[in-house]
Chains A and B, each alone.
Chain A
């Protein structure tokens, strides 16, 4: 039986009826059509489904949509600013941190969460913060460089 949920996604309130067995990632992707959140393993092991749930990065494949009732969620679609790309997105583009791009949304959200808490992180802090987000293309180096290159003054 479907349950009504209310939640805020990227600042927009949504009311929806969902089956209890709908995961948050499927709800975002298939019901709200926010397909920037990716699904690489569905088991909490790759991090491509990372979203920010009430201020914290989580694997949205391990959360039920009904559990997110009343929550604030940010997906990659919510990061772009009125002026265009968010500074972190710009850094990923300019530093060559994106290859196939499948891990990028989750990687960028996890990195942004770190920068909000720790504006000038060390390389080790960045590597630790991103250690739940697997990337098979880049060897991580240009991702780390991109995060390090962001000027904290630029972060909205």
Chain B
């Protein structure tokens, strides 16, 4: 299949990239991993006149610790993300999500930033990132802004990115001592899958055995954007974690989901699966919390 014609730009610094973007008056797309954009262009769903590749912008490919925070460059690939020690140790939900995205071949190309700005309702990374309270940095020619990822995604393929802006990094705060996260995805096959439903969770406990101080439950593929289930979070907060609580949270999450019928699954099934996957993802989070505590103690 043929790609439409376009002009190609390949800046080497973020500053240069921002300058190029602000200088082009015609429809432009930013090319990162290309696993979504190039497919859409081949299908004729996108035909930008310009592509600005971020592939040579080194500063976007780094993951660095900055005090209490971890800053993930937007162009870190999904496979690279999984190799990061901090992600393996402290962000289990994100680690799982990164391992379930597409296929190993796709994960070597697709970037963390790309999985965010394409704003696909079934995407694997935004739910766990939102669960961990990620913020993102947006840079443009004359400035930058930081906002929460949760506020950034507006609808299928829609974000609050402004013309000329580049998503440059994702910032995760180091999770507190007694905390954990989870991610459960349901597809038909075990690889090359689009989520029918996915759920990411995170909670922090007051002490080794609770109560839950703070919780986030994020539902994917059951609405135009990842959805925070405030009802589930409310049920969890202040309670001691156990199966019964998780089940109640699952029921509540299903009430916050806004699934639709499409050719992949019915709304009814998705709603049922939100209950189940929320419960499972909360269980994972609890397991991780216990594991992290044990690891630290050791």
Direct contact of A and B (CB under 8 A): yes
User: Residues of A with Cβ closer than 8 Å to B?
Assistant: 1, 3, 19-21, 23, 42-45, 47, 50, 53, 56-59, 61-64, 66-67, 69, 110, 128-129, 131-134
Q: B1-45: which have CB < 8 Å to A? A: 1-8, 10, 31, 33-35, 38-39, 42
Asked whether A44 and B5 contact (CB < 8 A) given A20-B51, A62-B35, A132-B192, the answer is no
List, sorted by A's number, 28 A–B pairs whose CB atoms are closer than 8 Å.
A1-B7, A20-B5, A20-B6, A20-B8, A21-B3, A23-B3, A47-B105, A50-B105, A53-B108, A56-B79, A58-B105, A58-B109, A59-B105, A59-B109, A62-B35, A62-B38, A62-B109, A66-B53, A67-B53, A69-B10, A110-B105, A129-B104, A131-B103, A131-B104, A131-B190, A132-B104, A132-B106, A134-B192
Closest A residue to B9 by CB, please name it.
Answer: A20
Residues on A with C-beta less than 8 A from B34 are 62-64, 67
- Report the Cα distance A47→B108, complex, angstroms: 13
Q: Is B102 engaged at the interface, CB distance under 8 Å to the other chain? A: yes
Q: When the two chains form their complex, are residues A66 and B10 in contact, meaning their CB atoms are under 8 A apart?
A: yes
Residue of A nearest to B55 (CB): A67
A residues in contact with B109, CB < 8 Å? 44, 58-59, 62-63
B191 touches A (CB below 8 Å): yes
B35 touches A21 (CB 8 A): no
- With a CB–CB cut-off of 8 A, which chain B residues contact A57? 104-105, 108
How close is B118's CB to chain A, nearest CB, in angstroms? 13
Chain B residues closer than 8 Å to A66, beta-carbon distance: 8, 10, 53
A89 to chain B, nearest CB (A): 20
How far, in angstroms, from A128 to B79 measured CA to CA in the complex? 13
- Knowing A56-B79, A64-B38, say if A44 contacts B106 (CB, 8 Å): yes
- CB-contact partner of A21 in B6, B10, B192, under 8 A: B6
Instruction: Give chain B nearest CB distance to A14 CB in angstroms.
Output: 18
- B8 contacts A132, C-beta separation under 8 Å: no
> A44-B109, A57-B104, A62-B109 provided; 20 other pairs, C-beta below 8 A?
A43-B39, A44-B39, A44-B106, A45-B192, A47-B103, A56-B79, A56-B108, A57-B105, A58-B105, A59-B109, A61-B38, A62-B33, A63-B34, A64-B3, A64-B31, A64-B34, A67-B55, A129-B104, A131-B192, A132-B104
Closest to B2 in A: A21
A129: chain B residues within 8 A (beta carbon): 104
- B42 / chain A contacts, CB cutoff of 8 Å: 42-43
**Residues in chain A near residue B102, CB distance under 8 A:** 44, 132
How far apart sit A110 and B31, CA to CA, in the bound complex (Å)?
25
Q: Across the interface, name the chain A residue whose C-beta is closest to B80.
A: A56
A131 and B192 alpha carbons, distance in the complex (Å): 7
| Per-position binary interface string of chain B over residues 75-88, scored 1 when its CB falls under 8 Å from any chain A CB and 0 otherwise | 00001000000000
Expressed in whole angstroms, the Cα–Cα distance for A44 and B38 within the complex equals: 10
Given A20-B6, A42-B1, A132-B191, the answer on whether A110 and B104 have CB atoms closer than 8 Å is yes
B40 to chain A, nearest CB (A): 10
Contact A132 B103 (CB under 8 A): yes
Residue of B nearest to A128 (CB): B104
CB distance from A75 to the nearest CB of B (A): 14
- Report yes or no: A19 in contact with B5, Cβ–Cβ below 8 A: yes
Q: Which residues of B contact A45 (CB under 8 A)?
A: 192
Q: How far is the CA of A131 from the CA of B102 in the complex (A)?
A: 9
Most buried by B among A3, A20, A23, A134: A20
Q: Tell whether, in the assembled complex, residue A58 and residue B191 are in contact, meaning their CB atoms are under 8 Å apart.
A: no
CB distance from A72 to the nearest CB of B (A): 14
Q: Which of B32-71 contact A (CB under 8 A)?
A: 33-35, 38-39, 42, 51, 53, 55
Q: Which B residue's beta carbon lies closest to that of A61?
A: B38
Q: Is the beta-carbon distance between B7 and A21 smaller than 8 angstroms?
A: no
With a cutoff of 8 Å between Cβ atoms, the chain B residues found around residue A67 in the complex are 31, 34, 53, 55
The interface residues of chain A lying within 8 Å CB-to-CB of B108 are 53, 56-58
What is the minimal beta-carbon distance from B278 to any residue of chain A, in angstroms?
Answer: 26
- In the assembly, what is the distance between CA of A66 and CA of B34, in Å? 13
A132 CB contacts on chain B under 8 angstroms? 102-106, 191-192
Measured CA separation A136–B31 after assembly (Å): 32
Contact residues in B for A61 (Cβ distance below 8 Å): 38
